[in-house]
A and B are shown apart, each in its own frame.
Chain A
Amino acid sequence: MAKGRTVIDEARCKGCKLCVSVCPQEILAISSRLNEKGYLVAEVVDADGCTGCGMCAIICPDVCFTVYRQVPVRAR
C-alpha cells in the first residue's frame, strides 16, 4: 500500500528528467505524452511505490510536484 502520493503539474513540466534521476523508489519516468509546450512530461509509473519522501519536489526546478504522505490517525 502506497505510503505517499506525488502529483505532477504536467503543464509546467519540461521533461528535464531530474526527478526521474533522484526518485529513490524509481517510480518516475518520462512519458510519451507531450504537454502544450511540446515537452515529453514526467509521470508516475508505479503509484504504489511512492513513499511521499518529496525528493522529486526538491530537485524539480519548475515546481511541478505536490506531495502527500499517508499519516496514521492517532486513536482518539
Chain B
Amino acid sequence: MTEVTEELVYQRPESLTQVHTHYCPGCTHGTAHRLVGEVLDELNVRGRTIGIAPVGCSVLAYYYFDVDFAEAAHGRAPAMATGMKRTHPDKVIFTYQGDGDLAAIGTGEIVHAAGRGENITVIFINNAIYGMTGGQMAPTTLEDQKTSSSPLGRDVSIAGYPLRMCELLATLDGAAYISRQSLHDVRHIRRAKKAILTAFKTQMAGLGFSMVELLSTCSTNWKMDPVESLEWLRDNMIPYFPLGDFKVAEAVKEL
C-alpha cells in the first residue's frame, strides 16, 4: 500500500479578507472577487495594489479585499484610477465596476481611460441589470428582457440596444488587452481567471489599458434560482455578448 499524504488543492486567497459577503446566494460577484484575489496572490502584489469600488452591489467590495481601497462616485472609478496610477506608477491599480457604473453613467470615463491607454486594469461585471437598486434596466439589458423599469421587456425602438463595451473599447489604440469572459460554469471560470491574470500582467508590464468583462448573474432580480441563472446567462447573454479576446496588443501576446 503506497504511503499517501494530503496535498492542498484549493484554499481561500490571501488577498480576500475574512468578511462574509453581502451578495445574494449564487451571485457571481463573489466568484469574480475570488478570481481577482487569486490573481493578486499569484502575482504577489497584494501589498502594492489599490482597488476602486463602484456604486452598485459591489460598492462594499472594499470590505472583501485585503487591499487598500477607495470607493468612487458612480461611474467615476476610471478617473480615480487615472489619477492614482499617474502619481503612483509603481502601484497596481484596478477598478471593479458593474454595467450601470461603467456602461451608463461612466461611459465617458471608461472610453477616455482606454483611449489614453491608462495603465490600469478594469474588472467589468456585466449582469444586464441594476442589482443594488432593485433590478432596473441597464445599458446591457437584452432586448425583450423584463426588468423593473422595462416591465414589458426592453423595447429597443424606445430604449435602444444593449452596449457591447469590449467591441467598443477594442477600437481604441490605447487599449492593450480587452477580453470578455463568463462565470457561468467551471470551464469558463478557469478561462476568466486566465484573462484576469493577463490583464494584470498587461498593467504591470506598462503596456496600457486592460479590461476583462465578466458575464455574470443576478438571480434575485432576474427572478430565477442561482442554477437557472447560470443557464439563462449561457443561453441568452452569450449569443449577444460573444466571449473571447477583442484586443491583444502585440506586446501582450509575449507576456
User: Using a CB–CB distance below 8 Å, which chain A residues touch chain B?
Assistant: 4-5, 11-12, 14-18, 21-22, 37, 39, 52, 54-55, 57-63, 65-73, 75
Q: What residues of B have a CB within 8 angstroms of the CB of A60 in the complex? A: 30-31
Which one of B10-18, B55-63, B109-117, B128-136 contacts A?
Answer: B10-18
CB-CB under 8 A for A61 and B23, given A18-B227, A21-B227 = yes
Interface residues as binary, B1-26 with A (CB distance below 8 Å gives 1, 0 otherwise): 01111111111110010001101111
CB distance from B234 to the nearest CB of A (A): 13
CB distance from B3 to the nearest CB of A (A): 4
CB-CB under 8 A for A61 and B4, given A22-B185, A22-B186, A66-B10 = no
Q: Which of B7, B28, B227 makes the CB contact (< 8 A) with A61?
A: B28
Q: What residues of A have a CB within 8 angstroms of the CB of B8 in the complex? A: 66-68
A59 to B10, CA, bound (A): 12
CB distance from B39 to the nearest CB of A (A): 14
Interface residues as binary, B30-52 with A (CB distance below 8 Å gives 1, 0 otherwise): 11001000000000000000000
Does B244 count as interface, using CB distance less than 8 angstroms? no
User: Using a CB–CB distance below 8 Å, which chain B residues touch chain A?
Assistant: 2-13, 16, 20-21, 23-31, 34, 185-186, 189-190, 225-227, 230
CB-CB under 8 A for A70 and B4, given A16-B25, A55-B186, A59-B185 = yes
Q: Which residue of B lies closest to A15 (CB)?
A: B25
| A71 and B225 contacting across the interface, CB-CB below 8 Å | no
| B4 and A71 contacting across the interface, CB-CB below 8 Å | yes
| B26 and A68 contacting across the interface, CB-CB below 8 Å | no
| B186 and A61 contacting across the interface, CB-CB below 8 Å | no
Q: Which residue of B lies closest to A36 (CB)?
A: B20
CB-CB under 8 A for A18 and B9, given A58-B189, A71-B4, A72-B2 = no
CB-CB under 8 A for A63 and B227, given A15-B25, A69-B9, A73-B5 = no
A66 to B30, CA, bound (A): 16
CB-CB under 8 A for A67 and B9, given A39-B25, A59-B31 = yes
Q: What residues of B have a CB within 8 angstroms of the CB of A75 in the complex? A: 2
| B186 and A68 contacting across the interface, CB-CB below 8 Å | no
Q: What residues of A have a CB within 8 angstroms of the CB of B26 in the complex? A: 14, 16-18, 61
| A18 and B10 contacting across the interface, CB-CB below 8 Å | no
Q: What residues of B have a CB within 8 angstroms of the CB of A68 in the complex? A: 6-9
CB distance from A39 to the nearest CB of B (A): 7
